[in-house]
Amino acid sequence: MSDRWYEKAVIYCLDIDTYADSDGDGVGDIRGLIGRLDYLARLGVTCLWLNPIHPSPNRDDGYDVEDFYNVDPRFGTLGDFAELLHEAGNRGIKVIIDLVVNHTSDRHPWFQSARSSPDSPYRDWYVWSETQPPDRHQGMVFPGEQDETWSYDRTAKLWYYHRFYKFQPDLNIGNPRVREEIKKICAFWLQLGVAGFRMDAVPFIIEETEPGNPASPKDLNFLTDLRQHIQWRKGDAVLLAEANVEPDELKRFFGDDSGSSNRIHMLFDFMLNGRLMLALARHNPEPIIDALRDTPALPSGGQWATFLRNHDEVDLSRLTAEQRGDVFAEFGPDEEMQLYGRGIRRRLAPMLGGDRRRVELAYALQFSLRGTPVLRYGEEIGMGDDLSQKGRDAIRTPMQWSSLPNGGFSTAEPGDLVRPVVSDPTYGYEKVNVTLQRHDPGSLLSWFERMIRTLREAPEVGSGSCTHVDVPAPPGVLVHRADDRTGTMLFLHNLGPKDGVVDLGTLAEEAEFPNDVLADSEYPDPGELDALAVKGYGYRWIRLCRKP
């Protein structure tokens, strides 16, 4: 079994400003998060991923950074953050933070200096053009909210590039000083004690933008350089990257052509995520089977990060138009539920109609597939969304801790909250909250705790192989296995509403004492594996054998 900690981690993603408010100002803060670490430890979380923590004008939920070396004063101080790292470490929880270095805020001192004079030492830290680039209206990340990627700056009298919003000018990765600054930023936070970074928009970070060339070259060697730098600073530090690229490009983000894993440690598995959503929408496992078959083999040390919901929309851009239409029809039929023409801005529980069976099934499936599972805050209690909020903010509502006002998130007046707490009749904090579920051994929260404990006893899932078991199976039933030196786990997940029976007798000779370690209900002992029943929207995790 590998000793790479990230291969056996359970990652929990949260925004500090919507998690827990300790001082009653309506904004979540670091002290509030520290007060909830015991909750996270009980849940089984081993790694916290914090969305942007830096000072920011907050026009893009913190992704418009104006100081990479500090903490947003709304959240607390650097001292508070150091205390968070200490307290999390005491509970066996590592902390990674967002590294947002594709761009800065236009209020960042670097950009203010760069635009002020051609002699500024920061002028070439950004990407400029003296003339209006012909590809000005191409490559927008947020169609419908963006209409250009080049904007004219009247002070500089130049056009500047911004892959995202116009208030987020792109840094010039072709400038060696910019590269050194990025490495310095990483070194600073590693020295403070973070365990690594979730790298935002990696394909755009390494893009050496050329005006008029919408297919500008990418310098993947910078990822090699950055990997080497952080490993020298902290040997077990991890880079987890967002790189939603074509399948034939994926392996190049893990390592160079020699086959070594010398770039990114982990990539979010966007291809699998889209196929998972399609499979759930169609009640058919074939898209998942295709994803497992088509995914390229990773170099040693490379790892996928799996997810169902994250801090953004459900991105369906890797599906065909027909496939995307099927997912929209099932999970986001109304226009207000959709975003950018490619995604769904809802949490999973309302997407699945609040059906507890399907929510359990979906997460049991995600957590049993190869890779490291990532869980978005609030999913463990089945939180809903607020579609009255703008764009992605629909799923960035405050955590629902109790039936107290504001869901126990804050003692501030409701109008002073960073965002309103969900209060609809189905998913409102009065009905869906941690305290109610803590007192209910049959709650979704209790199920998540049990499921994650079971996963921690099955290291084959994170660090072993994941293989589809190709046997005749009823429609809707997926059978797969995870193998490693520690043993073998067998999984059955029924994506359809009808009960099914699967004959896996051919695996009986591999079994020592097969037994259900997690299931949606009580089933007969697996026996000879030749008649394994699984209910509609049911699942079974079976320990096939354990090796010393």
Give catalytic residue positions. Answer: 200, 242
Q: How far apart (Å, rounded) are the C-alpha atoms in residues 163 and 219?
A: 17
Q: How far apart (Å, rounded) are the C-alpha atoms in residues 28 and 31?
A: 9
Q: Whose CA is closest to 416, among 23, 13, 16, 15? A: 23
Q: Whose CA is closest to 508, among 544, 473, 542, 472? A: 544
Q: How far apart (Å, rounded) are the C-alpha atoms in residues 247 and 352?
A: 28
Residue 290 burial by Cβ neighbours in a 10 Å radius (0-12, 13-18, 19+): middle
Q: Which residue is associated with the tokens 């320990």?
A: 543
Report which DSSP code applies to 311: S
Q: How far apart (Å, rounded) are the C-alpha atoms in residues 43 and 36?
A: 11
359 CB-near residues (< 8 Å, 6+ apart)? 348, 349, 352, 382, 444
Contact 94, 12 (CB under 8 A): no
Q: How far apart (Å, rounded) are the C-alpha atoms in residues 490 and 486?
A: 13
195 CB-near residues (< 8 Å, 6+ apart)? 47, 94, 95, 96, 234, 236, 237, 238
Radius of gyration from C-alpha coordinates of the chain: 24
Q: Whose CA is closest to 178, among 150, 215, 206? A: 206
Contact 103, 169 (CB under 8 A): yes
212 CB-near residues (< 8 Å, 6+ apart)? 133, 134, 135
Q: How far apart (Å, rounded) are the C-alpha atoms in residues 334 and 466?
A: 36
String of b and e for 66-80 (b: at least 16 CB within 10 Å)?
bebeebbebbbeeeb
Query: How confident is the model at residue 1, as a pLDDT?
Result: 35
Query: How confident is the model at residue 324, as a pLDDT?
Result: 97
String of b and e for 151-170 (b: at least 16 CB within 10 Å)?
eebeebebbbbbbbbbbbbb
Q: What is the pLDDT of residues 85-138, one digit of tens each?
A: 999 999 999 999 999 999 999 999 999 999 999 999 999 999 999 999 999 999
How high is the mean pLDDT in each 10-residue block of the chain (548 residues)? Answer: 83 98 98 98 98 97 97 98 98 98 98 98 98 93 90 98 97 97 98 98 94 90 97 96 89 88 95 97 97 87 95 94 97 96 96 98 97 98 97 96 98 97 96 98 98 96 94 97 96 98 96 96 96 98 93
Which tokens go with 215? 């297919």
Query: How confident is the model at residue 225, as a pLDDT?
Result: 97
* 543 three-state secondary structure: strand
Q: How far apart (Å, rounded) are the C-alpha atoms in residues 247 and 225?
A: 23
Query: How confident is the model at residue 35, as a pLDDT?
Result: 98
Query: How confident is the model at residue 197, as a pLDDT?
Result: 98
* 479 three-state secondary structure: strand
For 17-39, what is the HEC assignment?
HHCCCCCCCCCCCHHHHHCCHHH
